[in-house]
Structure 1
Amino acid sequence: MRKLIPILLILVIITSSCQPSKKEKQIEKTRFNYVDYNTLIYQAERFILDSNYTSALDKYNEAFSIVDKPLAKHCFTAIQVSAKVDDEEAFKRFSIKGFERGLLIKYYKQDTVISRYSREKKLNTTIEQSFEEANKLYNASINKFLADTLIALQDWDQKWKKYYVDSLSRVDIENSKFYHQKYDSIVGTIVEDYLIPVIKEYGYPGERLVGAEAVGYGENDSYRRSYVNNSAKIILLHYYADPRTCVYNELFLSEVKKGNLLPEHYASIIDFQAKYGNGEHCKVDYYNEWFYDPDTTNINQINNKRMEIGLSPFQDRIEKMKRGQDKCKSIRRGDYNFVKLFEWCG
């Protein structure tokens, strides 16, 4: 059970001499390029949109060859694609990589594409035997100190957001502005005095450093569930829902290039700045990831910005969303035989 760590204890944790003496830096080999990795993943997803699974598999192979830590959801999709093209070796290889990145056997058993292929090819025993060792590697890759600190910050943020914004401001509408200001001050302290120092010291606490989580519509609803870590992103979106400066943007962009901050999360943070920055405090351009630029003539400029951090063109994002909505209808009809791109149901 997650427990709230007292605020003073967070400060002690961050500054204590018992903590690791140096930032735990990701060991970057010259072949590592996370922007290239992201680009290859979105190229693979473009092929999936076209039902070209053979080419998609080639892109996943290429992407996974240039990083040590592919993302859990990408591993999951790559496993499904390998099943679609009947590549047993790729299926086993991606399954092990998925376990190393936090996926559990129960996630495999809950998916129609994966479980059916594994059963038909009699791979269940082989896959299950590989889990324990791979899962040990995953647990060893997690910065426990950083993960615990992130949980504490998230609990702190959620506690006061629920108290001031989700409760009091809706009951006492006359004083709603006051309650929003109270919460805004608290989330400002969380980000500026705690989260940003953590990022500077250890790196952005995203999936590659603190592990993936199964998030979505419940433990058993595997077709609406994703594998990611949204905790730090959510805190930052709360922070940028009010006008702020852009002072941390270079830090965020550097973490994208290191592979710690997902490009879609970075783009969402910048979109919040574009929408709520009012121009005075922070003037940035949209990425069209969370909010969309009202000036639709800027689409070419937006696509160039997206490609610079490894995001797909905006048109592909819209197509993924429409596909996901269509898969929601498929689920209601009892059709679960599809490859997940983790956009809506699909």
Structure 2
Amino acid sequence: MKYRILIYCLIAIIAFSSFNTYENSDYIEYHKQITKAEKFLSEQQFVKALITYEQVFKHYEFVFLRDYKVASQLAFYLGDKKKAFDFIKMGIAAGWELKDLKKNNFLKSLQNNPEWSTIIQSYDNLRSSYERRIDWSLREHVHLMFKKDQKKALGALFRIGNKAQEKYGTMKFAPHSENQMLELIDILNNQGYPGEKLIGNDFWMSTIISHHNSISLEYNKKDTLYVFIKPKLVTAIEKGNISPYEFALIDDWQIAVSSKRTMPGYGFLQSPVDSTLSKTNQLRQKIGLRTINIRNKLVTIERNTGMNFYLPDWVNGSIKIE
């Protein structure tokens, strides 16, 4: 154990001495660094992966909760319980709920550690940091939009056949969705993208936009709202307001529906094809998202170690390449 800690310290010294500080407002760079950590993970270079996570945490004021979750497990895997608890506390301050933490099977044995009592005792105080960050008024507004969207989308399920569903989408859902997009534009202009950073939720708004992008091929041909919104979403990635995962799913719907699933997307809605895999990876890397190959290797590492990397569950397990 002492030997492993010594190696860890030596690598850390080398890494930090050669580490160039990057702007903590550039979240494209943030995600590129996380991808770098994930590449180390996929290669089972766990010490280097943990050091890379730590570098990111030191240089960015806002950290996506998923990255604290991964780092805490990685530290525990390397035998550093103190560091694991430190990351867990950071995660709670970033919104990690106690009930969700307790469900993490890999970290479950830590609940038998004396330090766990400090997690329980300090939970409310740590949680208050998250609650102060959240725009609760905006959160309530977006949640209401989400519930309206779900209710309207439910109407399509009662239409039998593609033609009936497309007619419902064009006549009933599209006007509703256009109003939702106009509300979103107002939010983007005045407050920013309402994702994890602003409202503590990363799927309400992305679901709404994905529904808009999936109305129909004919609708997408004439739609100008998403064309207007998309550059604002890219800017939101750069600011840390939306994660690459959210954006990829939103844009994947637009690509899939507009091309009848003939154009390469991000690999979530349709399996990537070997002949266009490079295009898929280019799309992913442009927004700071890991390649398909790294994703699939991470799934294997999860299986072998028992860690949970909280990969997007739109695809169960590895992404199949046709």
Q: Same fold (TM over 0.5)?
A: yes
Instruction: Summarize the Cα distance change of 1:84–1:189 in structure 2 as closer, same or farther, 3 Å threshold.
Output: same
Deviations 1:165-211 (A, max 9, x none): 112x13x8774432222343244323332122112211111011101
Tell me the distance in 1 between the aligned counterparts of 2:175 and 2:151. 10
1:238 to 2:229 alignment: no
Query: 2:39–2:294: 8 Å Cα contact kept in structure 1?
Result: yes
Q: Does 1:61 align with 2:50?
A: no
Corresponding letter in the other structure for 2:42? L
Matched residue type, 1:41: I
Q: Could you tell me which residue of structure 2 aligns to residue 262 of structure 1?
A: 243
1:208 has 2:191 as partner: no
Letter in 2 for 1:201: N
1:331-342 to structure 2, matched below 5 A, reads: 338-342=306-310
Coordinate RMSD, CA, aligned: 2.8
Worse-superposed segment, 122-131 or 106-115: 106-115
2:141 alignment partner, one of 136, 149, 152: 149
Q: How does 1:122-141 map to 2 (within 5 A)?
A: 122-141=114-133
- For 1:217-256, what aligned pairs fall within 5 Å after superposition? 229-241=202-214, 242=216, 243=220, 244-245=223-224, 246-256=227-237
Q: How high is the sequence identity, in percent, across the aligned residues?
A: 20
TM superposition shift of 1:159: 0.8
Q: How does 1:262-301 map to 2 (within 5 A)?
A: 262-278=243-259, 286-292=265-271, 296-301=274-279
What residue in structure 2 maps to residue 315 of structure 1? 293
The answer to whether the Cα contact below 8 Å between 2:281 and 2:291 also exists between their aligned partners in 1 is yes
Letter in 2 for 1:177: E
Cα distance in 2 between the residues matched to 1:249 and 1:112:
38
- Indicate the SS of the match to 1:65: helix
Q: 1:174 to 1:137 in 2, by over 3 A?
A: closer
Conserved? CA contact 1:42–1:311, under 8 Å: yes
Specify which of 283, 288, 295 is matched with residue 305 of structure 1: 283
> 1:136, CA displacement in angstroms?
0.5
SS where residue 51 of structure 1 aligns? coil
1:93 to 78, 81, 86: 86
Q: Does 1:33 align with 2:26?
A: yes
Query: Which of residues 49, 57, 65 is equivalent to 1:72?
Result: 65
Name the structure 1 match of 2:19. Answer: none
Aligned residues: 284
Deviations 1:59-117 (A, max 9, x none): 21112112222122221121111111122332232112111111122333332322313
For residues 129 and 86 of structure 1, what CA distance do their matches in structure 2 show? 24
- Are 1:166 and 2:157 counterparts? yes
1:293 is displaced (CA, Å) by 5.5
In structure 2, runs of 5+ residues without a counterpart are: 1-21, 318-322
Q: What residue in structure 2 maps to residue 45 of structure 1? A: 38
Residues 4-44 of structure 1: CA deviation (Å, up to 9, x unaligned): xxxxxxxxxxxxxxxxxxxxxxxxx9433211221222222
Q: Which residue of 2 aligns with 1:4?
A: none
Q: Which amino acid in 2 is paired with 1:36? A: E
Aligned partners of 1:178, 1:135: CA distance in 2, in Å?
Answer: 46
Indicate conservation of the 8 Å contact 2:110/2:116, yes or no: no
- Partner amino acid for 1:262? S
Paired AA for residue 313 in structure 1: T
Q: Residue type of the partner of 1:275?
A: A
Unaligned runs of 5+ in 1: 1-28, 213-228, 331-336
Q: What secondary structure does 1:312 align onto?
A: coil
Q: 1:86 to 1:32 in 2, by over 3 A?
A: farther
Query: Scaled by the length of structure 1, what TM-score is found?
Result: 0.73
Distance 2:269 2:193 in 1: 20
Residue-by-residue CA offset, 1:197-248 (whole Å, 9 max, x unaligned): 1122111110111014xxxxxxxxxxxxxxxx21111111100013134222
Query: Residue 247 of structure 1: SS of its match in structure 2?
Result: helix
Flag the 1:276–1:321 CA change in 2: closer, same or farther, 3 A: farther
Preserved CA contact (<8 Å) 1:271 1:289? yes
Counterpart CA distance in 2 for 1:175 and 1:310 is 39
